[in-house]
Amino acid sequence: MTVFSLIIINKAGGLIYQREFQPGLRKLSTNDYLVLAGTFHGVHAITRTITPKLPYLATTPASNTSTTTSSTPTSATALASPSGTTTPIPNTTSTAATYMYPIPGVAATGLDSLETDKFRLTCFQTLTGTKFLLFTDPHMANVEPVMRKIYEFYADFVMKNPFYQLEMPVRCEAFDRNLNGWLRGRT
Amino acid sequence: MVVYSFYIFDRHAECIYKRRWLPRPASIPGSKSSRPTSEASAQATSAPALLGQSARTTDDDAKLIFGTVFSLRNMVRKLGGEDDNFVTYKTSQYKLHYYETPTNIKFVMLTDIKSPSMRIALQQIYINLYVEYVVKNPLSPVEHPGGVGVNNELFEESLEQFVTRVLS
């Protein structure tokens, strides 16, 4: 298993952490990484808005009353979006909501994972809107536990660091050390 | 697996073809004509009230999709090198598949999240349908401003068949 690099983007789209663990991806300048973080932040928001919207009648039988059917998508969209941007909420004043998402009951998220010929990018967004981008080998299985552990390290060594200022670049030696050690131990 | 929509963009970043499929056309009486129609005419007859596109039209959707795909492609090339290409991305609700020909025509397909990689399928649409019925058509223009030449009957019909029979 190969983890190429990790990028952390704050809720405003600013780059706050970037580390390379194993060679494999091209190196960019600091400025390019900042641009990349900002671009990804924007694209992530757009990928959520282009979620296909299915007409209501398509999957729910017509015999259902409109009151029961209209309650599902509003509750689904209400718990959406940790990043604070608004999700389209169906017009509830009319008799029935006009559309639903392909998987009702699941909040629409932005890009979760992206695959290319050379790497796989997994994005994890915390409830507060911070995004963790993990670049791994495209064939690597079980990215989830790695991401979870990284989030744990972040919580332990960055968020609990009394000198860390929120939304600012992460410069915590303990975070670096533990992350490096743990990832090396796994390979 | 379910295919939600399909787009073709030419090298001038223009959307030259778009087509959407409703998941269960049979359950909506009268929403589907017997002959496959292009997006524009299908929209005019049945869709506006049904699809409930509040403020955004399908045109805007195509532009957003192009923007997304374009940014991601550039990002991937920067990180993975010039010969790297992005194949697919996934959200909690849908999956987007991407294929670009050497002549910079981009094929994009949105499917449900359980579908396997569609790279081969998009390549086949290009080779067996687009090249055969659009490029080799003597009446079709070289460029396709506004989708001229792509929305011919043969191409649309075989695309419809390909998606309904081969992919599902």
Q: Of B106, B124, B101, B77, whose CA–CA distance to B14 is shortest?
A: B106
Range in A95-99, A107-111, B69-73, B138-142 with the lowest mean pLDDT: A95-99
**Residue A96: per-residue pLDDT:** 57
Judge whether A52 is closer than 8 Å to chain B, CB to CB: yes
Q: Contacts of residue B78 in chain A, CB cutoff 8 Å?
A: 26, 28, 32, 36
pLDDT for A63: 43
- Chain A contacts in chain B segment 41-70 (CB below 8 A): 50-54, 56, 61, 64-65, 67-68
Q: How far is B123 from chain A (nearest CA, A)?
A: 15
B145 and B3 Cβ atoms separated by less than 8 Å: no
Report how many domains make up chain A. Answer: 1
Of chain B residues 79-138, which have a CB less than 8 A from chain A? 79-81, 83-94, 96, 110, 112-113
Least confident of A164-178, B29-43, B144-158: B29-43
Lowest mean pLDDT among A37-46, A47-56, A149-158: A47-56
Cα–Cα dist A92/A71, whole Å? 9
Closest chain B residue to A47, measured at CA: B68
Low-confidence winner among A125-129, A173-177, A183-187 (lowest mean pLDDT): A183-187
With an 8 Å Cβ cutoff, is A39 touching chain B? yes
Question: Domain holding A113: CATH number?
Answer: 3.30.450.70
Contacts of B66 in chain A (CB under 8 A): none
For residue A69, pLDDT over 60 is answered with no
Mean pLDDT of A94-105: 75
B26 interfaces chain A, CB cutoff of 8 Å: no
Contact B94 A58 (CB under 8 A): no
Closest CA to A105 of A128, A66, A78: A78
Backbone phi and psi for residue B63, each to the nearest 5 degrees, phi listed first: -65, -40
Q: What amino acid occupies position B68?
A: T
The architecture of the domain spanning B3-23+53-167 is 2-Layer Sandwich (3.30)
Do the chains contact at B75 and A48, CB–CB below 8 Å?
Answer: no
The predicted structure's pLDDT at residue B41: 41
- The answer to whether position A161 is within a domain reads yes
Round to whole Å and give the CA distance between A17 and A30.
11
Q: Which residues of chain A from 84 to 143 reach within 8 Å of chain B, CB to CB?
A: 88, 90-91, 97-99, 101-103, 106-119, 135
Looking at residue A111, its pLDDT comes to 95
User: What confidence category does residue A77 fall into, taking pLDDT thresholds of 50, 70 and 90?
Assistant: very low
A158 in any annotated domain: yes
Give percent of chain B above pLDDT 70. 80
Please give the average per-residue pLDDT across B54-64, as a whole number. Answer: 79
**Residue A26 to residue B79, Cβ atoms within 8 A:** yes
Whether residue B64 is predicted with pLDDT greater than 50 in this model: the reply is yes
pLDDT confidence bin for A174, thresholds 50/70/90: very high
DSSP A37-81: HHHHHHHHHHHHHT---EEGGGTS-TTS-HHHHHHHHHHHHHT--
- CB within 8 Å: B91 and A49: no
Q: Which residue of A has its CA nearest to B73?
A: A116
The answer to the question of residue A59 being in a domain is no
The whole-angstrom separation of Cα A68 and Cα A46 is 30
**Which tens digit of pLDDT belongs to each residue from B92-125?**
999 999 999 999 999 999 999 999 999 999 999 9
The answer to whether the Cα torsion of B156, B162, B167, B168 is positive or negative is positive
Q: In this predicted model, which residue has the larger pLDDT, B17 or A64?
A: B17
> Given a cut of 70, is residue B29 above it in pLDDT?
no
Q: How many residue pairs bridge chain A and chain B with CB atoms within 8 Å of each other?
A: 132
* B78 at interface of A, judged by CB pairs closer than 8 A: yes
Identify the pLDDT of residue B55: 58
Is the pLDDT at A34 greater than 90? The verdict is yes
Measured from the Cβ of residue A175, the count of other Cβ atoms closer than 10 Å reads 21
Confidence of residue A53 (pLDDT cuts 50, 70, 90): confident
Q: Do A102 and B112 touch (CB under 8 A)?
A: yes
Measured from the Cβ of residue B4, the count of other Cβ atoms closer than 10 Å reads 21
At A99 the pLDDT is 81
Phi, psi for residue A34 in degrees, rounded to 5 = -65, -45
Structure tokens at A171: 């410069």
Q: What is the mean pLDDT of chain B?
A: 82
Share of chain B above pLDDT 90, in %: 58
Structure tokens at B73: 């492609």
Interface contact flag, A114 B85, Cβ < 8 Å: no
Residue B152's pLDDT band (cuts 50, 70, 90):
confident
- Average pLDDT of B33-57? 46
- Give the torsion sign (CA, B133, B130, B25, A56): negative
Interface test with B, best of A47, A60, A69, A109 (most B CBs within 10 A): A47
Whole-number pLDDT of residue B143: 87
Give the pLDDT of residue B62: 93
Q: Which positions ≥6 away from B90 have C-beta within 8 Å? A: A111, A112, A113, A114, B96, B113
Average pLDDT over residues A136-162: 94
What separation in angstroms does the CA of A185 have from each of A178, A179, A181?
A: 10, 10, 6
**A77 lies in some domain:** no
Domain boundaries, chain B: 3-23+53-167
- Reported confidence tier of residue A75, pLDDT bands at 50, 70, 90: very low
Question: Does residue A15 form part of some domain?
Answer: yes
Least confidently predicted of A33-42, B51-60, B78-87, B94-103 = B51-60
What's the mean pLDDT in A10-33? Answer: 94
Q: Mutating which of A89, A100, A114, A137 best tests the B interface, going by the most B Cβ atoms within 10 A?
A: A114
